Amino acid sequence: MLPEIEMPGHSVAALTAYPELACKPGPYEVRTTWGVDENILCPKEETFTFIENVLTEVMALFPSQYIHIGGDEAPKTVWQASQIAQDVIKRENLKDEHELQSYFIRRVEKFLNAHGRRIIGWDEILEGGLAPNATVMSWRGINGGIAAARANHDVVMTPTSNTYLDYNQGDPRFESIYMGARLPLMTVYAYEPIPDSLTAEQGKHVLGTQGQLWTEYMQTTRDMEYMAFPREMAIAEIAWSPKAARSWDSFGRRLLPRLLALDRLGVNYRFPGVESGLEKNQVVAGDTVTVTLATPIPEAEIRYTLDGSEPTITSTKYTGPLHLTIPADGSVSVVARAFLDEHHASPSRAATFRRATTTSTR
């Protein structure tokens, strides 16, 4: 386990307690909603003293080799308008505010290195020049990680596309926790942390991957468990087993005993549902469509409806591809769920198949 102390952005809580660390006079107020805030730490000497004091306390608490210093989502607007920040740019012979952030991170790195620790930061720390010994977490896609590995820096691959466990895992219409983007279990499992475009030597800089469970949309521990499991199991497998040993089918075959073990621990996991076949609504040429549904757990049954209602354990059982006739000028909706028994049912998944129509023009 390693701690993350965010800087210079995501620091409004610190500015609320210590407004003198800002570039503009306060007061500031701790945020109660999520988002990126333009009020970031000001690169003053007293800010560095404050950070060093905080990190000294953090080092006493965490024996980890790495300390995460954040570095992400730090808008430069306040620094652009601040005489203090502009004076530092001039004094240190920096090109712009990105180089100023780089200077900020390098200073903190130097402090931590002097205490035998290493820094890790989000991929924004590449902007304006990477601190000499820094490890990078590539979250805004994989390109930051690739650039860092090519520059002989270690990286942890954490792209939103495959590892953000705060993203919605199914059909938002049927999920209790909903956060814009979607990341199904299957997409997590499909992720290979070492990008193809790296050479074998560069690939050695990929230390691994991690699942991000940001909690803006999660109110309770049960919500967190629902978002974490079983996707965290997929993260563990892609992180800890070689690519050649991985198989989605095998993962599915091994899943049920793991979930039943979570039952015994009282963990509120999400029972996996129909992971393929109903990803999106479709416009179909012709009057028939074949819909093939799949769920990863072989012991589970898929049950479906064609009247738009949510399936129950007594709805029609799926036994093979559905050959559906679409009424003229109409559509058919498939709603499906996976069931093990009354206590183990997935959320629903639904898609509408609509017949293509020719529209007349006047």
Give me the residues that bind ligand ACM (CB under 6 A), please.
72-73, 122, 139
Indicate the DSSP class of residue 283: E
Q: How far is the CB of 315 from ligand ACM (least distance, A)?
A: 39
Identity of the residue, 191 or 251, whose beta carbon is nearer to ligand ACM in the bound complex: 191
**Cα 70 from Cα 282, distance rounded (Å):** 42
- The three-class DSSP label of residue 104 is helix
Residue with tokens 């200073």: 107
Q: How far is CA 304 from the centre of its chain?
A: 31
- φ, ψ of residue 333 to 5 degrees: the values are -110, 130
Least distance (Å) from ligand ACM to the CB of residue 49? 26
Cβ–Cβ under 8 Å, residues 176 and 228? no
Q: Which is nearer to ligand ACM, 72 or 301 (CB)?
A: 72
Q: How far apart are CA 39 and CA 15, in angstroms?
A: 8
Angle at 240 between CA 189 and CA 213, to 5 degrees: 60
- Beta-bridge mates of residue 337: 303
What helix, strand, coil percent values describe the chain, rounded to 5?
35, 20, 45
d(CA 182, CA 203): 28
Which of 67/293 has CB closer to ligand ACM? Answer: 67
CA distance linking residue 277 with residue 282, whole number of Å: 11
Task: Indicate the residue among 177 and 340 with the shorter CB distance to ligand ACM.
Answer: 177
What residues does 67 pair with on adjacent strands?
Answer: 119
Nearest CA to 323 out of 336, 338, 334, 312 is that of: 334
Which CB sits closer to ligand ACM, 73 or 279? 73
**Spatial CA neighbour of 159 closest among 179, 137, 181, 180:** 137
Which residue's CB is nearer to ligand ACM, number 161 or number 331?
161
Give least dist CB 73 to ligand ACM, A.
5
What single-letter amino acid sits at 114? A
The token pair that represents 314 in the structure block: 């007594």
Least distance in angstroms from the C-beta of 221 to ligand ACM: 21
Q: How far is the CB of 139 from ligand ACM (least distance, A)?
A: 4
Min. distance of Cβ 230 from ligand ACM in angstroms? 22
C-beta of 138 vs 346, nearer to ligand ACM:
138
Please name the amino acid found at residue 227: M
Residue nearest ligand ACM by beta-carbon distance: 72
Kindly tell me which of 38 and 301 has the beta carbon lying closer to ligand ACM: 38
For residue 115, what are its two tokens?
Answer: 């205490």
Q: Which one, of 129, 130, 137, 183, lies nearest residue 156 by Cα?
A: 137
Nearer to ligand ACM, 130 or 291 (CB): 130
